[in-house]
Structure 1
């Protein structure tokens, strides 16, 4: 009797599992992920050929005995952007009929620049339980080694493939102060870096992460200008899976005096400390800069 049969026998409710898989090094597969993939009735994946190699490595069967006979049914189902509209209702129906389903991507955590949103959304709409089986994520792995501020960050994913669309999106992002995380295809990496440097400026800090957890892993921290040269001069850096972690725009401390009217109004009702905190939330300027400017304004007011 399989784990799935035992769960059914025990009256456990079938559900949808979102299972993270390694982005390179197979030793990053978690014991819980292996257990879940062995137990479910169906594993939905982007590419059955890619996923079968992973499953074979951990002795996870891709076929399963039918409950009422000795015949076998396919456990591995293709699920990608081109068939999701057809496969989603089928998978939800399977879960509603008591068969748990796991969703995996080719590598990493599903739904992070990968298919799956439609299935998870449908599961919630149908009242189906959704449970994450956590593990590797290229974006978070890159952020952890980037040496850039990690208290605030935005995951942007892939930039548009064409230069005009890419530059337009970068213009919208250039003044963002949080760390930005991008994925990029190897054949576009040079063009994307040149657009980043053109819009963000040559001196913007960036960490280039390539083939994380794999044999030829690269983690290179530099400026955008230096990184362009690094990538152009080494064809190997134009291959594999690439994550760019880019520093946010620097906030100018001297912007505080641009909000004197607001600060003076806040001082009428609040202490300097509370006024600085509220003004920081409103303007996005650093609280310490606003605090110092408030003290200056308060001093000027006292002198008068």
Structure 2
């Protein structure tokens, strides 16, 4: 009788948050996994190949089998993405920045892996959500990440007021992000909307040489000249 084929594993591989040398911020364990894995699911193939090359310069790019997972991926394609695991090969799921499945595509692949009995192995790496929370001085006991706020100005202000009330009621930190070219407009809306004593942390370019993390009251922020146009940022506040 033939032995059942052993399933491969799905490794969740974090990526850098900036352009610094990857081994300055990535654990050696990530390098070791990339050395042995040839099958990948990635958000952007070019970005992923560059990251893999910087992590393991000796790795043959020609041997890599890469599937892309982004807003252009057909749902009909996704079930086949884990075929390699079912054939006994390990697969790496790589984010463009930070951790896969956290404010990033990948959760549906992980869910599918669980359904198929494939072992999911998360690897240690940088997460802007956790790094900014650690450095903010705001509550790390209770917090909520909201992703992107509405683009419409009135709806955005309504949500900000709602989140501020929630923060005050539950002593909870509220976190969110914005498309980098809209950072300055978001900051302007925050400063016009939130209570003067609400504490706001702005964390920009995390883990890079020009990292910026400051927490001040809304009242104090109003005296600052702020320009974070096109810079990756995360925003946290606590009322």
Same fold (TM over 0.5): yes
1:97 Cα shift? 1.4
TM-score when normalising by structure 2:
0.85
Counterpart contact for 2:184–2:226, Cα < 8 Å: no
Identify the residue that residue 50 of structure 1 maps to in structure 2. Answer: 47
Identify the residue that residue 122 of structure 2 maps to in structure 1. Answer: 132
The runs of 5 or more residues in structure 1 that have no matched partner are 1-10, 64-71, 250-304
Counterpart contact for 1:62–1:76, Cα < 8 Å: no
Q: After TM superposition, list the pairs within 5 Å mapping 1:1-304 onto structure 2.
A: 13-24=7-18, 25=20, 26=22, 27-59=24-56, 61=59, 63=61, 73-83=63-73, 85-176=75-166, 177-230=171-224, 233-235=225-227, 237-247=228-238, 249=239
TM-score when normalising by structure 1:
0.68
1:172 Cα shift? 2.8
Counting helix residues as a fraction of each chain, which structure ranks higher? 1
Secondary structure at the residue paired with 1:209? strand
Larger Rg: 1
Q: State the Cα RMSD in Å.
A: 2.1
- Matched residue pairs, number? 227
Counterpart contact for 1:62–1:75, Cα < 8 Å: no
The runs of 5 or more residues in structure 2 that have no matched partner are none
- TM-aligned CA distance change 1:229 to 1:162, over 3 Å: farther
Deviations 1:186-215 (A, max 9, x none): 322232223333443233111111001112
Deviations 1:17-57 (A, max 9, x none): 11112212421111111111221231211111112222111
Higher relative contact order (CA 8 A, sep 6+): 2
1:104 Cα shift? 0.9
